Amino acid sequence: MSKRLQVLLDEADYREIARLARAQRMTVAAWVREALRDARRSQPSGRTADKLRVVRAAARHGFPAGEIGEMLAEIEQGYAGTAR
């Protein structure tokens, strides 16, 4: 089911949106819907508290790590195709 949304814009904003819509061969309504979809997609998904809980749980674990110089040398060898 579709819902109607009314938004009041000042004249300059409306003219700019209409110009952008015309440039993309879209109606103003279609352009606004697409802009709202893009804005929605750019928002982080999930709750911040959940993400922090997961990161904190992972940070409690100890992970083995080699010496940085040795690891970088191994990476470079892999790029060069000369891995041991």
Read off the DSSP letter of residue 81. Answer: T
State both tokens at 38: 């893009």
Residue 2 in any domain: the answer is: no
pTM value is 0.55
Residue 71 maps to a domain: no
Question: Which residues span the domain enclosing 32?
Answer: 7-61
Indicate the number of domains in the chain.
Answer: 1
Neighbours of 77 (CB within 10 A): 12
pLDDT tens for the 84 residues of the chain, in order: 999 999 999 999 999 999 999 999 999 999 999 999 999 999 877 788 888 999 999 889 887 788 999 999 999 999 988 765
Listed in sequence order, the DSSP H helices in 24-64 are 28-41, 48-59
Cβ–Cβ < 8 Å for 21, 27: yes
CB atoms near residue 80 (< 10 Å):
8
